[in-house]
Structure 1
Amino acid sequence: MTQDPRDDSKTTIYDVAEHAGVAISTVSRVLNNSRDVSDSTRETVLKAIQKLQFRPNRTAKSLAQRATRTVAVAVPTFTTPFHNELLKGVRSELDGNDLDLLLCDLSWEAPKATLKKFLARGAMDGLLVAGLPVDEEIAGELSTLGAPVVLVGTQWDDMDSFYWDEEPGAEMAVRHLIEQGHTDIAMITTPHDGNRLRNARVKGYRAALEAAGLPFDPDRIAQGETAKHDGFSEESGYEGMQVILDAHPDVTAVFASSDVQAIGAWQAIRHAGKSVPDDIALIGYDDIKISRFIGLSSVAQNMHDVGEEATNVLLQRLRRANAGRTMSKLIRPTLRVRKSTGGEDVPVRD
């Protein structure tokens, strides 16, 4: 008996794409029953799948059979307020659905490698991926799951996605400071130039200044040294504010690229004997829950609502209640003005 030298357990979507002579994204479309594939191409891919005996890497049981009731959420970390808000929305939508929730900590250091290992276990019926930029490689890996996938924070064809346009939100925040009469405005961001959130929010900061006829000074963009959470932390915000206070003592307003950085900056301002907003106006980004209690102005991303809505879409896919084309939703930012930029200190209602 002749044994096929190919080890079926190691057959990947890349093997299928190579055998069929198509892109990985095309195989992904076939696996996800997308309509954006010609009949001839679909037939070619299906023949390659059959010949290579490729099987999506997931358990054979399905939610529809009421055998496995597990959905998974993969996020860079569970400990930041931003992701906590998102997970609360996920949990809220899952309540009453008799589903188990499996969490994957992707980590900031090696998210792609961690996701691959997680997918290899295959013990899930649906997956929500948040905060991970998707490229051709990751899209191919997600397709091997053979289960519904919803993306949060990034966009990709053939996958349901909810994403934010960061630049307009940052521009909105800085424009608000300008409308309050500030002309010397600094920014606190992360030290990582490759971070897409950082770069988009810096662009928004610059666009608002230039639209108002104010000079853009790269020296007024500061960051801390603390690297945890990719620089989005209270410690990093505190350190960045110290840099601003030392180098640019005449600054009257600061835009922090996250609320946690703004909270750290607020403490640094206090320790310098100054007050918010009388000496320095301060605005953050994300609008985490604590911002409402301390009176921090912020740009809201509505993470709780997004978590609920994304989970609802995932559940619909699992129930096959929404078998049409994939959806892609842009979440519009909203400005929340509070006492840190001169707004009213209104009661908090959760």
Structure 2
Amino acid sequence: MTPSSESDKTTIYDVADAAGVAISTVSRVLNNSRDVSDATRERVLRAIEELQFRPNRTAKSLAQRATRTIAVAVPTFTTPFHNELLKGVRSRLDIGEVDLLLCDLAWSDPEATLRNFLARGAMDALLLTGLRYNPQVANELRALGAPVVMIGSKWEKMDSYYWEDEVGVELAVRHLIEQGHHKIGMITTPHDTHVRNARVRGYRDVLEEAGIAFDKSRVAWGETEKHDGFSEESGYEAMQKLLDTHPDLTAVFASSDVQAVGAWQAIRHAGLSVPENFALVGYDDIKISRFIGLSSVAQNMHDVGEKAAETLLRRLNREDFPTVNEQVQHELHIRKSSDHTISA
């Protein structure tokens, strides 16, 4: 029996059912594990042939290719934030021995995009970013029988490098308060996401700890939805709203550096200067921020990319070490845009 269309494409679950074994057993066969009896291995291989199950990992093994394929799945490749991640991954990999495969998860439905990508079978290892923990997705990833490293959130029983967004925001907003600012706005994104909510929560908590009332009308976003609102255009539009509705503001925290760059332009167009009239702090610490003097919270994406790639390579080499769950530490880099104290 063979699949009749792309939508009916055979999966590892089909092979397990046909062979009468667990998914983990199929994974061990695909990985040439010795922990499978000859009779069981033969039954699984026969099911694979009958169902025409050919993930690229198996096809590669059959063709006796030495090059390994590492897939990197991210929400987008065009933002500076994700570019830094990819640069870190690339700097650690020997491209002569590793093929790098890129998967654009998109912002709208990343889990569905990931499932379609996994169904095509295209990697020996996977680095995945921008996805919150989901038990069902975690089970599907474990069924791959390939190393997986998560970036951005903590996944139980899987290697992961993650941040606590509230901590980074607290560094930025507390710095603005210490500089004498009490009327502080925030630029965020329009969609109800974990990242958005965590950063707004961090902004609110620091204000309230300092005895400053949280005013949700001081949290603004732009109309441009490119990159899920993390863009210069969106930052410019959000800053225009804040200047129109809250002309008494003296500082703004932006959820990303690209938003902060757009906000800076809106401040200039309003006839104000940074930092004399207006303090500005961004998030991500992308390369351009260091050249234009934008204060920013660093997430050290390049280093994270290197570490994640190193972990994948060690897993591919079958090194035995404990699951990695590393919380990446934020760093606030103070520059011209906020390095100016105002009187109370």
Q: Distance in 2 between matches of 1:266 and 1:134?
A: 35
Secondary structure of residue in 1 paired with 2:337: helix
Q: Offset at 1:218?
A: 0.6
1:74 corresponding residue in structure 2: 73
1:170 corresponding residue in structure 2 = 169
**Counterparts in 2 of 1:41-190, with a 5 A limit?**
57-60=55-58, 61=60, 67-95=66-94, 98-190=97-189
2: CA distance between counterparts of 1:342 and 1:312?
37
1:225 matched to 2:223: yes
Q: Unaligned regions of 5+ residues in structure 1, if any? A: 33-45, 344-350
Task: Pick the aligned partner of 1:326 from 318, 323, 326.
Answer: 323
Aligned to 1:37: none
How far is 1:13 from its partner?
A: 4.7
One-letter amino acid matched to 1:10: T
- How far has the Cα of 1:10 moved from its partner? 3.5
Out of 333, 336, 345, the residue aligned to residue 333 of structure 2 is 336
Aligned 8 A contact 1:57 1:119 in 2: no
How far does residue 52 in structure 1 lie from its aligned partner after superposition? 12
Q: 1:159, 1:327 within 8 Å by CA — same for their partners in 2? A: yes
Structure 1 position 97, deviation (Å):
5.5
Cα distance 1:52–1:182, how it changes in 2: closer, same or farther (>3 A)? farther
How far does the alpha carbon of each residue in 1:210-258 deviate from its partner, in whole angstroms, 9 at most, with x for none?
1111111111101111111111111110000001000000100000011
Change (3 A) 1:259 1:30: farther
2:246 corresponds, among 242, 245, 248, to 248
SS in 2 for 1:71: strand
Q: Percent identity?
A: 63
Q: Structure 2: which amino acid aligns with 1:231?
A: G
Q: Tell me the CA shift for residue 16 of structure 1.
A: 6.6
Over the aligned positions, Cα root-mean-square deviation in angstroms equals: 3.4
Structure 1 residues 209 and 73: alpha-carbon distance in aligned structure 2, compared to 1, 3 A threshold? same
The TM-score with structure 1 as length reference comes to 0.82
Paired residues of 1:56 and 1:144 also in contact (CA < 8 A):
no
Residues 301 and 30 of structure 1: CA distance in aligned 2, closer, same or farther (over 3 Å): farther
Q: What is the CA-CA distance between 1:323 and the residue it aligns to?
A: 2.2
Judge conservation of contact 2:133–2:154 (CA < 8 Å) in 1.
Answer: yes
| SS of corresponding position for 1:339 | coil
Q: 1:198 to 1:59 in 2, by over 3 A?
A: same
Which residue in the other structure is 2:214 paired with? 216
TM-score, normalised via structure 2 length: 0.84
Indicate if the aligned counterparts of 1:153 and 1:164 stay in contact, CA closer than 8 A. Answer: yes
Of 239-248 and 152-161, more deviation after overlay is shown by 152-161
Once residues 9 and 171 of structure 1 are traced to their aligned partners in structure 2, the CA distance between those partners, rounded to angstroms, is: 48
Structure 2: gaps spanning 5 or more residues: 3-7, 29-39
User: Relative to 1, partners in 2 of residues 1:133 and 1:57: Cα closer, same or farther, differing over 3 Å?
Assistant: farther
In 2, Cα distance between equivalents of 1:149 and 1:62: 19
2:209 pairs with 1:205: no
